[in-house]
Chain A
Amino acid sequence: MDSMTNFMPAAPEIFLLAMTCVILITDSLLKNSSRMVTYMLVQLTLMICALITVGTHVNGVTYIFHGMFVDDLMSDVLKLLTYLAVSMMLVYSRLYLTVRGLFSGEFMTLTLFATLGMMVMISANNFLTLYLGLELLSLSLYAMVALQRDSAAATEAAMKYFILGALASGLLLYGMSMLYGATGSLGLEAVSHSIQSGHANKTLIVFGLVFVVSGLAFKLGAVPFHMWVPDVYHGAPTAMTMLIGSAPKLATFAFVARILVEGLQPLVQHWSGMLVILAIGSMALGNITAIAQTNLKRMFAYSTIAHMGFLLLGFISGSMEGYGSSMFYAVVYVLMSLGAFGMIMLLSRAGFEADTLDDFKGLNQRSPWLAFMMLLLMFSMAGVPPTVGFYAKFSVLNAIVQSGHVWLAVAAVLFSLIGAFYYLRIVKLMYFDAPETHTQIVFEPDTTLLISVNSLGVLLLGLLPGALMSVCAVSVRQSLLLH
């Protein structure tokens, strides 16, 4: 299967890169007033990428570039969802960015570069490609957070994000280098074989594993490596927060799955122990601290930390069942997160950010429809049926109970009970309180439609979750090979 000449599995990446360069040049020739052309081009590019991804899909696992790059069902599914998430992010943020003067070519090309980074992360099968994808994503995101140059908060957020992100990359790279030293290889398959054979230096491997896990935890925003999350989520313009909080989670899932499952499965005993601590810490700190927040973006930042803890639980189970549930969790989380940040942007106006809890007061009186959409999203995040958030939690819990960690499941549900409180508070503000402002909400047809589809999707997937669950389970089972 391995061949140097077969470029087809990487066709979406190649096309995206080419188009990004085209858009970069085209955009520099456009006047400020015709930025919509760039926007349309970007959307079109994502759409064609999706078509290419579907078109080049072949059954089974294909390795190319000497095993550096892999194309399988999981990567195709995740890439399609990534295009969708990025495209939705662009629709949500168009107006928001326009009134803030940030709707620029830079924003859109950086978005595409970030997307390319995610795609490489999803398909990487070698420490080097993994790292390459991660850095492409991260560097684009650092720049995007800093895009609002005259905002002190955004600059500070970008600075923190950059420094801590660089530190995390360093940790990851250090860990990888140790694994390389011990096993003599950078390819995930070879690393796995080498560890399994028992010839590699065990101490060095475990040492390297600690660094790798720390680096991953950093990127996920799991406790105790979560410090950057609230500041970045809060400081960045909401559109960038939405990007950070959505599609990259899919890529990060793939990243973690590739390294820990495909590369380091023989060490499952070691890393699942570490993940237990990370998961419990994240769920505890995320949920408890979120209660104290008055800023919605900060609250969602802590809620993300808690959600990432839940996502890690699936990995702890160490079974295909568990990895599949983690993937399902990631997909569902991205859907909910897009909706929640979309709502913040929808309620924001020129010079006004609707990002505090008070801005949601009495939303039911200002717009019953939007309030209902937000209600669905919040109950989904809290994991209350009949929304899809419940099934995400359900499948993860099932996986860990199956692997015998009943106490972990009990801890997880207790923390999600705490989490339910702050989601409930938003519902309370929307429905029980009187509005603080009676400013007319501007209904743009595209964003209103999208938020409706997004939230009703959360409900509909909650009524019929079977298909998406199966897709995740099957793609993980077919793609993550245990060497």
Chain B
Amino acid sequence: MFFELPVISVAIWLPIIFGILVLATGDDKNAPLARILAMVGAVLGFLVTIPLYTGFVRDTSDMQFVEMHGWISRFNIHYHLGVDGISVLFILLTSFFTPIVVLAGWKVIEKRVAQYMASFLIMSGIMIGVFSSLDAVLFYVFWEAMLIPMFLIIGVWGGANRVYAAVKFFLYTLLGSLLMLVALIYLYNKTGGSFEILDFHLVAIPMTAQILIFIAFFTAFAVKVPMFPVHTWLPDAHVEAPTGGSVILAAIMLKVGAYGFLRFSIPIVPDASHRLAGVMIALSLIAVVYIGLVALTQTDMKKLVAYSSISHMGFVTLGLFIFNEYGMEGALLQMISHGFVSGALFLCIGVLYDRMHSRNIADYGGVVKTMPVFAAFFMLFAMANVGLPGTSGFVGEFMVILGTVKSNFWYAFAAASTLIFGAAYTLWMYKRVIFGAVANAHVAELTDLTLREKVIFTVLAFTVLGMGLYPLPLSEILHVSVNDLLVHAARSKLP
């Protein structure tokens, strides 16, 4: 029955419509109503994406749940949506996190509640749009529209240096996007008047143009991932964003960049991707090793997790550009896992921050004495961040390293160093915050998790463990699409 419903459109527009309804509740007098309405919208938004998983046909790489309507006939632009094994997981990830983010901001956000909740709901719809667009202009519209709510989220509800962070975030990402736009228009003319992404996959392009297009895509996607050396906006944005903003940034927005590499760079310009793979691998390894070291020196918990995110995303880009099945599937699993783990870690930090109003590691110590339940959850997520076998973090990292060994031992050697650095910075932070003597009177007064927080963390803990122990339901979905992508990537498109 779900096949008749335009499932993807509902998944995109339902949260957006609820967002507008939430906005309509007006000022903070109606905050309780805004919260409830937002929660209803978020939960419904998640429920409507479930058919995408249950109804997904696993043995084809074709686009499914396709919707196609004319939109701008003059440029042959269509409202064309669809999912394959790669994008469906990201859509689920997005819709899964929206209720969590709404719940996380339930009490903490007191000013302009309606605008806050609405931003996240609208954001959620837009991101699902990014993952499901099959028309390049539609993709671009969603891609850019994502900036507006995120800009406001960081700038309005963020920390002390929020304005700087918001503007930096916006301009960095806009630079990349605009160059991508030129590349898309070039491809449109190259295909003889089609903005279909799948048509872009087929068109022959000479090498010079391929390299230029690759660079344009690279600026757009690398900024979002973010890759070294264009990663500097991320720590700023994370530190200044409210908890919900950090969660969405880390869990989903970073994935948008890697998704772009998968959907655009690799299949559209495979020859340039192979030619420049060395550069991409080098940048990825720098991210893994150097940013891992940078994370070690952080004194601010959020900054530490932000740098850890960059380092983990380095793994993802590494997996993508070694061009084998293990690498690519590992990269995808790593992305999903990192979504859950980093989201959970930011929520953990948010829990501490709400109580202490400090993110400084030095202000903490002995939290386990006052918050034992929290300490247990935090431990689990920290371990998942390290990549302990049995947690979701292990599967992806292991597969990427395995894939890398196949192509070059020394790459794998460098990448594997993250197992040490990652453990070092995560566990060291954990030790300083949770163990030891009770640091000060504020820590002594801490109260443990509320029911609301327990619900959030329990759900996340189950997901992280479930993915680590039994990743098959995920990998079977992406398997065929990944193979197809690799076939595409191996086929030269030089004229």
Contacts and interface: CB of A to CB of B under 8 A. Distances in A.
A417 B141 contact: no
Interface stretch (A9-17, A20-28, A121-129, A463-471): A463-471
Interface stretch (B84-92, B142-150, B386-394): B142-150
A66 interface: no
B144 A409 contact: no
Nearest to A365: B112
B171 A417 contact: yes
A386 B163 CA distance: 23
Nearest to A401: B185
A428 B186 contact: no
B182 A397 contact: yes
Contacts, number: 89
A394 B137 CA distance: 10
Interface centre among B72, B155, B156, B179 (most CB of A within 10 A): B72
B186 A466 contact: no
B74 A385 contact: no
A303 to B, nearest CB: 16
Contact of B155 (A394, A431, A473): A431
A432 interface: yes
Contacts of A470: 73-74
Contact of A384 (B72, B73, B144, B163): B144
Contact of A417 (B115, B163, B175, B189): B175
A424 B182 contact: no
A410 interface: yes
Contacts of B167: 421, 424-425, 428
Contact of B162 (A375, A421, A432): A432
Interface string A54-68: 000000000000000
Interface in B129-178: 137, 140-141, 144-145, 147-148, 151-152, 155-156, 162-163, 166-167, 170-171, 174-175, 178
B120 to A, nearest CB: 16
Interface size range of chain A in the complex: 35 or more
Contacts of B171: 417, 420-421, 424
A60 B312 CA distance: 63
B155 A432 contact: yes
Contacts of A398: 75, 185, 188-189
Nearest to A408: B182
A431 B182 contact: no
Given A384-B174, A397-B181, 18 more contacts: A368-B27, A368-B115, A379-B148, A384-B145, A384-B147, A384-B148, A394-B181, A397-B185, A402-B189, A417-B175, A417-B178, A420-B170, A428-B166, A431-B152, A431-B156, A466-B72, A469-B75, A473-B74
Interface of A: 364, 368, 375, 379, 384-386, 390-391, 394-395, 397-398, 401-402, 406, 409-410, 413-414, 416-417, 420-421, 424-425, 427-428, 431-432, 464-466, 469-470, 473
27 contacts: A368-B27, A384-B145, A384-B147, A384-B148, A385-B145, A394-B137, A394-B181, A397-B181, A398-B188, A398-B189, A401-B182, A406-B182, A406-B186, A409-B182, A410-B179, A410-B182, A413-B178, A413-B182, A414-B175, A417-B175, A421-B167, A431-B156, A432-B156, A466-B74, A469-B75, A470-B73, A473-B74
